[in-house]
């Protein structure tokens, strides 16, 4: 087997923060080599160095056996390196053919474009990755899985033999994930090497040949996937034994804090939802993609105000027509897409944490900077946010720390109802455990928590009750002790036998 990539003792620091401390990694032809580690372990920095986006401070990179002294994105591409990220980098208003051609077609400003050849080449490349859609479709009209296939086809068109896939399945369904795996196996069979980065450790046995673990900027182990189990991987990643990823604590429930009665929003396709959450209770809300889970959350929080039914807080009907109303009533909502809606990347961590609490930090329109620093420092320490300073832009933080920053913003408002939409999506097992522990702590202090999640182990591990949505409404509520993954999935797809239950009737049972 040919050694395609070798990274040896790579070091890199940013403003005094050591991102890599001697990391090593290699890739051979015809293999899938997984790269795992907690957020902040150095995975993204190592990828940026391999692709030429940033320069290493020390160490050596070899591509196809040739030492690279001054790497750059153009040089890396010319040596066969292509990176495919969680969010495809396509031009949405160009066709698939045009996007693919950008990867390999080099013409001068005065050259005549051979569109027939471009279309033929695009169709050939799409066929190689198993894509059966029209190459003349606009890239922006394609689903996320199809956009990923376009990226892979473009990489093949540029003769890439080193493909770096960073969290490629984060937004894919199980069926879409399996289809992507088939494409990856085809690439491996043709002799390409794939660097596969994922927080979903259960995927590694299905797709990877080897796995390298990064921790605190160092490569601490490289193993054959058949030689290591998930528990050992977690221990290597976090440097300690995790007693449990789901540290659920049993607490005594208080009064019903949030109650929805026949709640509907025609614009969000939410209809006749009955749901209640008590103080100290974590209610898990699950269902298939498109079931209406996020739409229900945005309706309750006033982003898409309800047009039927009632919202009650501690037994009293309230009118919520905007997020301002919701925050004033003690509601907080952590959205699913943290980079678009959860944090403001270019703003400092301190400003992100206090953004929803400005009324408490201002007098006559003037911000009290001292109070802002105090609150930001308090929540940075409380949630263990890893940052060089509270004034660092959130864009410089790892994904898990960005999620903690987004969560801190809402905790600073002292909410009585906390709605969490996919709170641990895209974060590593260490950060996931910390966020789960924080949820248990908040419930123990009397908060009512509504947790939306597609992760069934998370739903079963952290919920007191589980509400299953289908077609914009809740079709069943299940006690955790009575639930199983099989039953929840059956209810979600409409094959379960359980009938919808009275919300108030089964609380605290």
DSSP 233-278: HHHHHHSS--S-S---------SEEEEEEEEEEGGGTEEEEEEEEE
Please check whether residues 181 and 96 belong to one and the same domain.
yes
In this structure, are 87 and 226 located in the same domain?
yes
260-307 residue pLDDT tens: 999 999 999 999 999 999 999 999 999 877 789 999 999 999 999 999
The per-residue pLDDT for 248 is: 80
224 occurs within a structural domain: yes
Pair 126, 268 in one domain = no
CA distance 442 to 332: 13
Same domain for 131 and 267?
A: no
- Do residue 46 and residue 192 come from a single domain? yes
Q: What is the pLDDT of residue 105?
A: 63
Q: Report the pLDDT value the prediction gives residue 67, as an integer from 0 to 100.
A: 94
Q: How far is CA 374 from the centre of its chain?
A: 29
Q: Which residue from 88, 97, 25 is spatially nearest to 60, judged by alpha carbons?
A: 25
* Residue at which a domain ends, from 170, 205, 238: 238
240: exposed, middle or buried (C-beta count within 10 Å: 0-12, 13-18, 19+)? exposed
- For residue 499, the model assigns a pLDDT of 43
Domain shared by 265 and 231, yes or no: no
What integer is the mean pLDDT of 443-456? 92
Looking at the predicted structure, is the pLDDT value of residue 503 above 60? no
Lookup result for tokens 């495919």:
84
**Would the pLDDT of 500 be above 70?**
no
Q: How far apart are CA 318 and CA 301, in angstroms?
A: 12
Is pLDDT at 444 greater than 80 in this prediction?
A: yes
Q: Identify the pLDDT of residue 107.
A: 62
* Beta bridge mates, 399: none
Is position 178 within any domain? yes
Q: Give every CB contact of residue 374 below 8 A, 6+ residues apart in sequence.
A: none
For the segment 202-221, what is each residue's pLDDT rounded down to a tens digit? 889 999 999 999 988 899 99
Give, as one character, the DSSP assignment of residue 490: H
Domain presence at residue 388: no
Beta-carbon contacts of residue 111 (< 8 Å; ≥ 6 apart): none
Instruction: Give residue 26's pLDDT.
Output: 96
DSSP, collapsed to helix, strand or coil, labels residue 465 as strand
- Any idea which of 53-62, 72-81, 171-180 has the lowest mean pLDDT? 171-180
**Where does the pLDDT of residue 48 fall: very low under 50, low under 70, confident under 90, or very high at 90 and above?**
very high
Predicted pLDDT of residue 342? 81
- Whether residue 378 is contained in a domain is answered as no
Supply the mean pLDDT for the chain: 87
Burial 196-216 (b: 16+ CB within 10 A, else e): bbbbebebbeebbbbbbbbbe
Same domain, 299 and 198: no
More confidently predicted of 7 and 157 = 7
Is 306 in the same domain as 451?
Answer: yes
Kindly report the CATH number assigned to the domain that includes residue 119. 3.40.50.300
User: What pLDDT score does 256 carry?
Assistant: 97
Within-domain flag for 245: no
The yes-or-no verdict on residue 229 having pLDDT over 70 is: yes
Q: How far apart are CA 412 and CA 375, in angstroms?
A: 8
Strand bridging mode 193-197 / 331-334 = unpaired
Instruction: State the virtual CA torsion across 88, 37, 440, 297 in degrees, nearest 10.
Output: 0
- pLDDT tens digits for range 391-437: 999 988 877 788 889 999 999 999 999 999 998 877 777 778 888 98
Determine the average pLDDT of the residues in 42-69.
Answer: 93
Total structural domains in the chain? 2
CA distance 433 to 455: 14
What tokens were used for 126? Answer: 């799409």
- 311: part of which helix (H) or strand (E)? strand 308-313
pLDDT number for residue 501: 43
Average pLDDT over residues 468-489: 89
Distance CA 43, CA 228 (A): 20
Note the pLDDT of residue 290: 79
Report if residue 7 sits inside a domain. yes
Domain finish residue from 203, 238, 273: 238
Three-state DSSP state, 497: coil
Distances (CA, A) of 296 to 358, 400, 419, 422, 469: 27, 25, 10, 14, 10
pLDDT cut 90: percent of the chain above it: 47
Do residue 31 and residue 154 come from a single domain? yes
> Same domain for 48 and 154?
yes
Same domain, 278 and 209: no
User: Is pLDDT at 95 greater than 90 in this prediction?
Assistant: yes
Q: In terms of Cα–Cα distance, which of 309, 259, 310 is closest to 281?
A: 259
The model's pLDDT over 344-402, given as tens digits with 9 standing for 90+, comes to 888 999 999 998 888 888 887 788 888 999 999 999 998 888 888 999 999 888 777 88
- Asked if residue 138 and residue 64 are part of one domain, the reply reads yes
Least confident of 89-98, 239-248, 274-283, 405-414: 239-248
Q: Give the model's pLDDT for residue 243.
A: 54
Among candidate residues 212, 238, 264, the one where a domain is terminated: 238
Host domain of residue 16: 3-238
Is residue 170 in a domain? yes
- Does 466 reside within a domain? yes
pLDDT at residue 502 in the model = 41
């Amino acid at each position: 087997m040919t050694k395609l990539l070798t990274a040896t003792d790579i070091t890199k620091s940013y403003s005094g923060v050591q991102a890599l401390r001697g990391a090593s990694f290699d890739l051979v032809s015809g293999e899938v080599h997984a790269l795992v580690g907690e957020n902040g372990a150095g995975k993204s920095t190592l990828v940026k160095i391999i692709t030429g986006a940033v320069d290493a401070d020390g160490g050596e990179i070899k591509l196809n056996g040739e030492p690279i002294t001054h790497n750059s994105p153009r040089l890396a591409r010319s040596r066969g390196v292509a990176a495919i990220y969680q969010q495809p980098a396509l031009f949405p208003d160009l066709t698939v053919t045009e996007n693919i051609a950008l990867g390999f077609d080099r013409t001068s400003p005065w050259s005549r474009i051979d569109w027939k050849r471009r279309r033929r080449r695009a169709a050939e490349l799409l066929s190689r990755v198993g894509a059966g859609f029209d190459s003349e479709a606009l890239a922006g009209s394609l689903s996320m899985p199809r956009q990923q296939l376009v990226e892979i086809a473009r990489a093949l068109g540029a003769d890439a033999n080193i493909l770096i896939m960073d969290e490629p399945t984060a937004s894919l369904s199980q069926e879409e994930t399996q289809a992507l795996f088939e494409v990856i196996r085809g690439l491996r069979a043709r002799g390409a090497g794939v660097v596969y980065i994922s927080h979903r450790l259960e995927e590694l046995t299905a797709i990877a040949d080897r796995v390298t673990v990064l921790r605190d900027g160092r490569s601490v182990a490289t193993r054959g996937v058949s030689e290591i189990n998930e528990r050992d991987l977690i221990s290597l990643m976090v440097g300690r034994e995790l007693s449990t990823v789901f540290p659920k604590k049993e607490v005594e429930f208080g009064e019903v804090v949030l109650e929805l009665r026949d709640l509907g929003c025609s614009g969000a396709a939410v209809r006749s939802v009955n749901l209640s959450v008590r103080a100290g209770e974590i209610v898990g809300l699950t269902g298939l993609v498109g079931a209406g889970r996020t739409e229900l959350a945005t309706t309750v929080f006033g982003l898409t105000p309800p047009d039927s039914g009632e919202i009650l807080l501690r037994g009293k009907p309230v009118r919520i027509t905007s997020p301002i109303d919701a925050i004033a009533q003690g509601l907080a909502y952590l959205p699913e897409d943290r980079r678009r809606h959860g944090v403001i990347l270019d703003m400092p961590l301190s400003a992100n944490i206090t953004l929803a609490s400005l009324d408490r930090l201002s007098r006559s329109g003037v911000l009290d900077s001292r109070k802002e620093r105090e609150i930001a420092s308090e929540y940075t320490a409380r949630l263990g946010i890893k940052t060089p300073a509270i004034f660092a832009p959130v864009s410089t933080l790892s994904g898990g720390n960005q999620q903690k920053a987004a969560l801190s913003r809402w905790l600073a408002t002292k909410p009585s109802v906390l709605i969490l939409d996919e709170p641990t999506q895209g974060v590593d097992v260490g950060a996931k455990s910390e966020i789960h522990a924080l949820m248990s702590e908040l419930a123990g202090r009397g908060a009512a928590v509504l947790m939306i999640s597609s992760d069934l182990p998370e739903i079963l591990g952290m919920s007191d009750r589980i509400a299953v949505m289908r077609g914009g409404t809740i079709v069943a509520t299940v006690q955790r002790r009575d639930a199983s993954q099989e039953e929840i999935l059956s209810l979600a797809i409409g094959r379960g036998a359980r009938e919808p239950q009275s919300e108030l009737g089964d609380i605290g049972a």
